[in-house]
Structure 1
């Protein structure tokens, strides 16, 4: 991984559809070696896949909920059932196991509070939870899929 690879990754994070000819000009490299570097970055796992970033407002997902979950059960059978159940829920776009006061954190996108209530009932009917606390985002200040590359 050199500075040219980092520049390629940075540019692709902001626009994965950039033509090779344009990308190669921006990094001062001819198109063939540029394409080979991109291919290498895929093979090495730096680039996982290309995706389209969809405007959540346009697809009626204006409500963002952060659901903190506590459990009194810390066995593998419960955790497996819980993880599998949450992974099936399309509304959950991020899912983390945490250290600290909460055991899990879910980022959930839904159209409104009524749909959140349906989601909540579906979640709590799937598995036994000790405590579920939800915070709703009032304003989205920063949301990005661009990763900082200065730690490579």
Structure 2
């Protein structure tokens, strides 16, 4: 079995097609990448087994789901010991409006992608939750003007 770092052009084509539409049937995927169905299915299964493909998800329209206001918050924490980091990450992950949490090298310590209904919900509900997270030293909020690339 190949190492997940040894991908050929067909593997990349499969990944490209599934990234664009993960609901493709194996038959259609095979047609698009120039394989017959059985070898195409084996390749997809290998990509899944080796962890190259980690899963499949529904992509939601945040606005249609009532979360059309996006904020990227950068957070610095006051203490960077192991327990504080664990506590902060667990608490931040539990905030329902936080859709993505990234630990950064350097400053800031974290970037959070937050999706809420509007500016009022962010300012009146979410920002107070964030300010009460363990060891928060500074929060800087950036409103997304528009999404250029997803």
Q: How many Å separate the matches in 1 of 2:64 and 2:87?
A: 33
Shift of 1:125: 1.9
The SS at the match of 1:130 is strand
Unaligned runs of 5+ in 1: 144-152
Count of aligned pairs between the two proteins = 143
Match of 2:49 among 43, 53, 64: 43
RMSD: 1.2
Once the two structures are superposed, residues 21-42 of structure 1 have per-residue CA deviations (whole angstroms, 9 ceiling, x without a partner) of: 1111111111111111111111
TM-score (norm 1): 0.88
Shift of 1:101: 3.1
Q: How many Å separate the matches in 2 of 1:3 and 1:139?
A: 33
Match of 2:85 among 79, 101, 111: 79
1:146 counterpart residue number:
none
Report the more deviating stretch, 90-99 or 51-60.
Answer: 90-99
Once the two structures are superposed, residues 38-85 of structure 1 have per-residue CA deviations (whole angstroms, 9 ceiling, x without a partner) of: 111110111111111111111011111011111221111111110000
Once the two structures are superposed, residues 104-131 of structure 1 have per-residue CA deviations (whole angstroms, 9 ceiling, x without a partner) of: 1111011111211211111212323111
- Structure having greater relative contact order (Cα 8 Å, sep ≥ 6): 1
Do residues 120 (structure 1) and 90 (structure 2) align?
no
TM-score (norm 2): 0.90
2:3 counterpart residue number:
none
Would you say the 8 A contact 2:74–2:139 is kept in 1? yes
1:60 counterpart residue number:
66
Shift of 1:15: 0.5
Would you say the 8 A contact 2:78–2:135 is kept in 1? no
Q: How many Å separate the matches in 2 of 1:81 and 1:70?
A: 14
